[in-house]
Amino acid sequence: MELLSPAGSPDRLRAAVAYGADAVYLAGTRYGLRASSANFTPEDLAEGAAFAHARGVKVFLALNILAHPSDFQELRSFVRDAAACGVDACIVSDPGVFTLAREEAPGVALHVSTQASVVNARACRFWHAQGAKRIVLARELTLAEIAEIRADIPDDLELETFVHGSMCIAHSGRCLLSAAMAGRDANRGRCAQPCRWKYALVEEKRPGESFPVEQDGQGTYILNSRDLCMVAHLEEMRRAGVTSLKIEGRAKSAFYAAVTTKAYRMALDALEGKPGAGTPDDWMELLERTSHRPFSTGFYYGAPMDDAQVHATDADYLREADVVGNVVGTDPSSGFARVVVRNRFGRGERLSLLRPKGGPLEFMVEGLTDAEGLLLQTALHPLSEVRLPLPVPADADSFLTRLPRRAATPASSGGDQTL
């Protein structure tokens, strides 16, 4: 199975590639559904595609907005330019955009976005007849339904499903809340995420006086879903006939892209019997380092209908690790790693080194200096460069993190259906 990772910016693309992605998905500055991401200028797209292809990684371009008439004014030239940059596929949900991309970039594969809400074999066959190579299935399908679809579609039609990341209260992201409440159309990439807001009750004749509607001590988050995590269930996904495993998160950090890609790469390596792939506890320990909501297995084992499970969460993210620095190279004179500071850290502190190859390593910070070699007690200033010895040589794509003093959450069972 292909491992498909998010690349919301050039640095996130590099991280995903370094940590084991088979393919990445990204967007230009227009026509994608993550306007909040940094995204890719035409120059970035050409450089990113060349970087990925040189390392055997495919690049998929999101063109998955529901397009209004004004969106078509420059779309033809945008698609032609993207094809010239070497993208391997376009991810499309709008039939009008689909036909335009087919006309303007006949050599580029077409993938039908999850925004198209494909949930049956007939819809798959329809899109295949239009020229689609792959269907990104709706998140609301069970594994049993995916297996049924796989058995009833052409062998050359690929199926992609999400395995990790944020879930949406609306059917596969086709939500109107943001447009109605904030004037920002989620279907054109500008979601304000009102499903994550905290709500209260206001009585008509008491303006300005709100009454909490408490689900628990933190308030109520009746529209807020848990995050998806299927890292312990990839064998079931393979048996269902899934071609590509997609990690959500183009709006998230390079660290997130690195950690999630590494965890799922290890899980896939274990599935293929490769040595050093670790255990489900190892994969979950990595995933717990990211900023996330409580994990669930979504709809894969049946619709989550238990009210206590569906609403047993709040809007707060769980943050398990702080990134304190990015390794950018090695100082030839000292052999120390060159690190760009992200958050304050100092001598005598225990950090963890996350690297593309091998497991995380904990070490004590010693010999910390500034760029000129002057000893430092503390690295204080974000974006400044410092030098320090590491327990092993580290690639420029490595991260230094500060870990919390508590155990990781165990991997969820196949029966965990909580949203």
CATH code, 345: 2.40.30.10
Query: Considering 290, 319, 348, which residue would you say is the last residue of a domain?
Result: 319
| Whether 315 and 349 share a structural domain | no
The CATH number of residue 259's host domain is: 3.20.20.380
CA pair distance 91, 86, nearest whole angstrom: 14
Provide the 3-class DSSP secondary structure of residue 17: helix
Q: Is residue 244 part of a domain?
A: yes
| Among the listed residues 80, 11, 89, the one whose alpha carbon sits nearest the alpha carbon of residue 51 | 11
Bridge-based pairing state of the strands 385-388 and 369-370: antiparallel
- Same-domain check for residues 101 and 44: yes
Q: Does 250 share its domain with 141?
A: yes
Note whether residue 187 is domain-resident. no
Claim to verify: residue 72 and residue 162 sit in the same structural domain: yes
SS3 200: strand
168: in domain: yes
Q: What is the distance between the alpha carbons of residues 349 and 378, in angstroms, rounded to a whole number?
A: 10
Q: Are residues 309 and 377 in the same domain?
A: no
In a domain, 200, yes or no: no
**pLDDT averaged over 10-residue windows placed end to end, the chain, 419 residues:** 96 97 92 68 95 98 89 90 96 95 96 95 98 96 97 98 85 65 65 68 79 59 79 97 96 94 97 92 93 88 60 55 92 91 94 92 93 93 94 91 59 38
For 43-73, give one letter per residue: b (16+ CB within 10 A) or e: ebbbebbebbeeeebbbbbbbbbbbeeebee
What is residue 417's predicted lDDT score, i.e. its pLDDT? 35
- 414, part of any domain: no
Say if residue 375 is in the same domain as residue 244: no
Domain count of the fold of the chain: 2
Residues 78, 113, single domain; the answer is yes
CA distances from 250 to 124, 150, 166, 319 (A): 25, 28, 11, 18
Q: Does 411 map to a domain?
A: no
Q: Which of 44, 48, 130, 58 is nearest to 89 (CA)?
A: 58
Residue 306 CB partners (closer than 8 Å, separation 6+): 417, 418
Indicate the Cα dihedral angle 96, 100, 103, 105, nearest 10°: -130
283 shares a domain with 152: yes
Same domain, yes or no, for 47 and 151? Answer: yes
Write down the pLDDT at residue 112: 97
Tell me which of 285, 319, 353 is where a domain ends. Answer: 319
Q: Which domain holds residue 150?
A: 2-173+224-319
Q: Please state, in angstroms and rounded to a whole number, the distance separating the CA atoms of residues 110 and 113.
A: 9
255 and 359, same structural domain?
Answer: no
Could you tell me if 51 and 155 lie in one domain? yes
Q: Provide the token pair at 86.
A: 């070497």
Co-location of 272 and 386 in the same domain: no
> Is 38 among the domain residues?
yes
Report if residue 272 sits inside a domain: yes
